[in-house]
Structure 1
Amino acid sequence: MTETYSKSRQRAEIAFGNIQSQFFAKNKAMEELESHAQSQQAKTLRLREARLAKQRDDRASAMSVLLAKRAKAC
């Protein structure tokens, strides 16, 4: 079932193969970039939530210290 093609057909097949491999490489690179961006966004969100939680805890502890000082003063 081996078919022999003309020289121009062989060149066309090779050119098509090169273009097709470039297309798949580009798609793979885009997928990697999108994956990296998604993981970066997830990490940023996680760190932001942790920072806000720490700020809430710090504010609450500062408020309790302030209330304790006021209670002693009265």
Structure 2
Amino acid sequence: MTENSTKTRDQAETAFSRTQTQFMARNRTISEIDDVAAEREAKTLRLRQLRLEREASTPVKLPASRKSAKR
């Protein structure tokens, strides 16, 4: 009976270890994806700020008006 119990326990521990490893790998992957998204967002905000500063410092040029075409 003890041998059967030990075998069952070993199988349960192996299954738990496998599940735990998958869970940890999934969490690590999600963390890496979140880090990449945060870096992308920070870069986007920085570039947007630079663009807005550049646009604010340059005068706005209005397009030349077109004369209406004769019909």
Partner of residue 22, structure 1: 12
What is the correspondence of 1:1-74 to structure 2 with a 5 Å cutoff?
A: 11-69=1-59
Distance apart, 1:16 and its partner CA: 1.0
Output the TM-score relative to the length of structure 1: 0.76
Show structure 2 runs of 5+ residues with no match.
62-71
Identity %: 8
CA distance in structure 1 between the aligned counterparts of 2:8 and 2:59, rounded to whole angstroms: 76
Distance apart, 1:15 and its partner CA: 1.4
RMSD: 1.6
Larger helix fraction of residues: 1
Distance apart, 1:69 and its partner CA: 3.1
Output the TM-score relative to the length of structure 2: 0.79
Aligned residues: 61
Show structure 1 runs of 5+ residues with no match.
1-10
